[in-house]
Amino acid sequence: MKTIGFIGTGVMGQSMASHFLKAGYDVHVYTRTKTKADALLSEGAVWKDSVAELASGVDTLITMVGYPRDVEEIYLGEQGILAHAKQGTYVIDMTTSTPSLAEKIYTVAKQKGIFSLDAPVSGGDVGAKEARLAIMVGGDKEAFEDCLPLLKIMGTNIVYQGSAGAGQHTKMSNQIAIATNMIGVCEAIAYAKKAGLDPETVLKSISTGAAGSWSLSNLAPRMIAGNVEPGFYVKHFIKDMGIALHEAEALGLKLPGLTLAKSLYEELAENGGEENGTQALYKLWDR
């Protein structure tokens, strides 16, 4: 697995691919907008002009794109990965996508002698830059074990969750937990301000106690500073919440907290915030 293909070099993908270059791997990249790969190309990555060209020349191919429709096109299209990857290739989709699509990709890949894993991540731009991502993996256990050394280049908390689609189901649990937590973080800061306290000082007390969370420690300071730069886009979070609600409905499960969070983020997006980071939700209170 010395030649790594990487498709998707956005906020997180760029850092993830860069770690492989630093570890001495040959990295081939493709993204729809070539300029988004400029930093990686300057580090030594090799540009490929299409998904098909990239897929045919690598040992392992990692994808980190935006939406399930992108994943489906990249993997299952006529010029896609599974039509052009050689037998024995490992493909790892790290996009947050639907469990059913992960299962479909796995089935088609297996028929072609290709090993497929769904491995969505959590940790945002900071986790990607520092190679501290949490990685949730579905697929065959043997393929997971083969790819574990590669996954360790990008993350620290890497857990095999089960068969194809299990990684995506786990990511839905992650997003459900984050969604309502973000409301709590926003309301905590709003309350501190309204009470005449210094929110930064309040954070020193509450971020290490029972209220502590990744969002409170990493995103609350951005909220207080008015920094809405995306570590994870609002538009992508809305997509994730939509997937989770769809899956929950299929399971006969009601998620009122997630429903509320999605409605608040949709309000934010309708007011021009879809390209902001998820911490921009605080705008709904700070106005």
Number of H helices, E strands in the chain: 14, 9
Just give the CATH number of 3-163: 3.40.50.720
**Which amino acid, residue 162?**
G
Report pLDDT for 173: 97
* Nearest-5° Cα angle at 248, 167 to 140: 20
Distance separating alpha carbons of residues 5 and 14, to the nearest angstrom = 12
201-247, pLDDT tens digit by residue?
999 999 999 999 999 999 999 999 999 999 889 999 999 999 999 99
Q: 156-193: buried (b, 16+ CB within 10 Å) or exposed (e) per residue?
A: eebebbeebbbbbbbbbebbbbbbebbbebbebbbebe
Look up the pTM and report it.
Answer: 0.93
- Active-site annotation holds for 235: no
Per domain, the residue ranges of the chain are: 3-163, 169-284
Confidence (pLDDT) at 1: 63
Strands 133-139 and 115-118: antiparallel
Catalytic residue among 171, 239, 262, 283: 171
Contact 234, 268 (CB under 8 A): yes
Q: Which pLDDT value is given to residue 2?
A: 87
CATH fold for domain 169-284? N-(1-d-carboxylethyl)-l-norvaline Dehydrogenase; domain 2 (1.10.1040)
Give the chain's residues under pLDDT 70.
1
